[in-house]
Amino acid sequence: DAKTTQPPSMDCAEGRAANLPCNHSTISGNEYVYWYRQIHSQGPQYIIHGLKNNETNEMASLIITEDRKSSTLILPHATLRDTAVYYCIVREPGAGSYQLTFGKGTKLSVIP
């Protein structure tokens, strides 16, 4: 079973920041939060991951609450090409945790 809860869908105006929430209230101390996205008819694409500190890369920012029970993926200036299903995944990077267990994700629609 997926360890995360995400809203099924969200809309965002083009050019505005998209803030995608994820609840992972049962996260354990060694588990990281990963985000992937899947554009229609394509394979999933890695976006970002973090443990407890906020992270930023060229694609997005990841904000993790202090208690680590939830996080937010931020796309600072959403474009139409960011329309996709976004998956939040909790994973412990140890032996045996070789798979990504995808939950249902959030379908983000960027509106012109």
Partner 1 sequence: DAMVIQNPRYQVTQFGKPVTLSCSQTLNHNVMYWYQQKSSQAPKLLFHYYDKDFNNEADTPDNFQSRRPNTSFCFLDIRSPGLGDAAMYLCATSRERVATEAFFGQGTRLTVV
Interface pick for partner 1 out of 10, 21, 32, 52 (rule CB under 8 A) = 32
Can you tell me which residue has the tokens 């929430």?
21
- Note whether 98 binds partner 1 by CB under 8 A: yes
Candidate segments 11-19, 52-60, 64-72, 102-110, binder of partner 1 by CB under 8 A: 102-110
Candidate segments 13-21, 42-50, 62-70, 72-80, binder of partner 1 by CB under 8 A: 42-50
